[in-house]
Amino acid sequence: MNRSAATIEVVARTRIPLPVLAVASLVLVTTALAFVFFVAPNDANQGFSQRIFYFHVSIAITAYALFAGAAWKALRHLWKRDPRADLESYVFVHQGVIFGTLVLLTGSIWAKISWGRWWLWSSDQLVLFLVLFLFYCAYFMLRFSVDPGPQRANLSAVYALFGVVLIPVSFAAIRLAKDIIHPVVFTLKGPQFGGWILVTYCIAQVAVPVLAYTLYRLELSSKRLDIRLRDLREVLA
Amino acid sequence: MTTAEKYVTAAYCVVFALVLAYVLIMALKLQRLERDVDEIASRVSEENAEEAPREPAHVG
């Protein structure tokens, strides 16, 4: 067995099994839902509608993490020529776009309740996140306009790597903009809330990434299974 | 909780329940499929090894 094949086998063995991840997601998300709706107190200003914050912020940070993961895998593809990295980068981008859609949806619902508008073009944070989201949507156009092979893998990796630059820009925009409408809850002094709100937020912030990672692994496993079945069909033909 | 708030809570719970049920079912199904594909792959490689051409040898 060559070195790379041995490495793949070791990684596959040391990975957490999918059913374990699914059960962990189930437990964490159920706990998060219970805390969000039955433990966390109502916000003094926004009341019940503020509870969407626990999902919106957690999903947004998870989306950033998924795009960062895609860039990391893209770097591994370009640098180490890791044979698994291209597919992993693609799945990270795919999950990132799904979570990005959820960020825009939950953000719009919250904006309608808080500001009376579904969308505000004057908010830098919103527009920059939309730019980041559309940039990664275009990733699929690039990827599927090139035939499968090393060229497609290289182009996709370079594109995913460039996109990661937008993450700190999007994250910092809210703190650099003077005329901010979007609330800032995490400053250099720490989170601007405490007690049960902080506890609930922490649980949601653990639950959503675990769910995202489980979905990532599910998609990755099904795509690898597809590839293996195609290879087997070729051998048997 | 008002009636509207109860409906919102129920909607969140239903959506997450569906997602989690899908994740759990797919995780179990994929694990089983991976095992099956491993088994088929090992059988195919065994059969290929048996059918490998033998070197010609002089007899008699």
Q: Is the pLDDT of residue B33 over 70?
A: yes
- The answer as to whether A170 is a domain residue is yes
Over its C-alpha atoms, chain B yields an Rg (Å, rounded) of 27
Q: Is the pLDDT of residue A12 over 70?
A: no
- The answer as to whether A226 is a domain residue is yes
Q: What is the pLDDT of residue B26?
A: 92
Whole-number average pLDDT of chain A = 86
3-state helix, strand, coil in chain B (%, to 5): 80, 0, 20
Q: Compute CA A40 distance to the chain's CA centroid, rounded to the nearest angstrom.
A: 25
Q: Which domain holds residue A193?
A: 28-39+46-236
- The answer as to whether A132 is a domain residue is yes
- Least CB–CB distance from A18: residue in B19, B31, B48: B31
Residue A4's pLDDT band, with cuts at 50, 70 and 90, is: very low
Min CA distance, A161 vs chain B (Å)? 29
Which whole number is the average pLDDT over A207-234?
Answer: 93
Residue A132 token pair: 């980041």
- The answer as to whether A2 is a domain residue is no
- The answer as to whether A23 is a domain residue is no
CA atoms within 13 A of residue B46's CA, in its CB half-sphere: 6
Which whole number is the average pLDDT over A187-203?
Answer: 80
Higher pLDDT, A228 or A237: A228
Min CA distance, A227 vs chain B (Å)? 11
Locate the DSSP E strands across chain A. 186-187, 190-191
**pTM assigned to the model:** 0.85
Residue A34 token pair: 């219970």
Query: Rounded to 5 degrees, what angle do the CA atoms A147, A63, A153 make?
Result: 20
CB-neighbour burial class of residue B14 (10 A; exposed 0-12, middle 13-18, buried 19+) = exposed
By mean pLDDT, which of A6-20, A42-56, B45-59 is the weakest? A6-20
Whole-number average pLDDT of chain B = 86
Task: Judge: A235–B20 Cβ closer than 8 Å, yes or no.
Answer: no
Number of domains in chain A: 1
- The answer as to whether A64 is a domain residue is yes
Q: Each residue of A97-109: pLDDT tens digit? A: 999 999 999 999 9
Q: Is the pLDDT of residue A221 over 80?
A: yes
Closest CA relative to residue A136, chosen from A82, A63, A79: A63
Among B2, B18, B24, B36, pick the best mutation site for testing chain A contact (most A Cβ within 10 A): B24
Contact by Cβ (8 Å): A65, A209: yes
